[in-house]
Amino acid sequence: MENEPSSVNVGERLRVLRGERGVSMRALARESGLSANALSMIERGLTSPSVSTLSKLANALGVPITAFFREEPVRSRIVFSKAGDRNELTFMRGRWEGLGGERFEGRVDAFLITLEGGATSGPHGMLHTGHELIYCLQGKIEYEVDGERFLLEPGDSLLFAARLMHRWRNLESGQSKGIVVISGYDESETPSSFHVASVSAEEAGEGIPDGLEGMSAPAAGGEEEA
């Protein structure tokens, strides 16, 4: 994520994300703290936003920063993925590995997510169409669904209607891993992009889980705004 993929138009992605959520330019400017003029220049491709600017826009839209870099892959009816040939995305405090859902033409997405200590899905929670299954492979992952909290340890699973507000966090000081399967979602959605952690529990204002008090959030990069 350090370099913007040359094939991805971030301004166009911003326009699409804003349109999908029915957010006006003025409303996004108010929520992000950026000027409407700056947003207009980004959408028209007249300026390239910094990482800190994209982070503000992602928070205002309630999406992970990776949503700005999503590319539409070629999809197939049959997808075979070798263990050493998965699509991967490294993000702050974790790693996402596709299990073929990103290339499958049906409405099923599956991925392996590796979470570093204190990683969370963010302060806002998320919801989308379809159903969601999480299977814990390693560590301790807490899922909050519709205000109810569930602690998943190795071998535990959780299945729920994804239209319920949900979010998660890693309760371990080390890594936690889980497999997430999302099915039956609307064709216009790519819900896996909302499950990429971009902040720590401390940065999300959620406090630090027991055992993580000695950890600190990554320092800000200090990029200039667009």
Burial degree of 101 (CB within 10 A; 0-12, 13-18, 19+)? buried
Instruction: Please state which CATH class domain 88-200 belongs to.
Output: mainly beta
Instruction: Tell me the per-residue pLDDT of 162-214, one tens digit each, with 9 for 90 and over.
Output: 999 999 999 999 999 999 999 998 776 666 666 654 444 444 444 333 332 32
The residue that leads in pLDDT, 40 or 208, is 40
Domains in the chain: boundaries: 10-69, 88-200
pTM: 0.62
> What is residue 103's predicted lDDT score, i.e. its pLDDT?
84
Name the band, by pLDDT with cuts 50, 70 and 90, for residue 3: very low
- State how far the alpha carbon of 71 is from the alpha carbons of 10, 75, 151, 182, in Å: 11, 12, 33, 19
Pick the CATH number of 10-69 from 1.10.357.10, 1.10.260.40, 3.90.700.10, 3.40.30.10: 1.10.260.40
Q: What is the number of residues in the chain?
A: 226
> What is residue 45's predicted lDDT score, i.e. its pLDDT?
87
User: Residue 23 phi/psi, 5° resolution?
Assistant: -100, 125
The three-state secondary structure class of 201 is coil
| Of the listed ranges 5-19, 77-91, 160-174, the one predicted with least confidence | 5-19
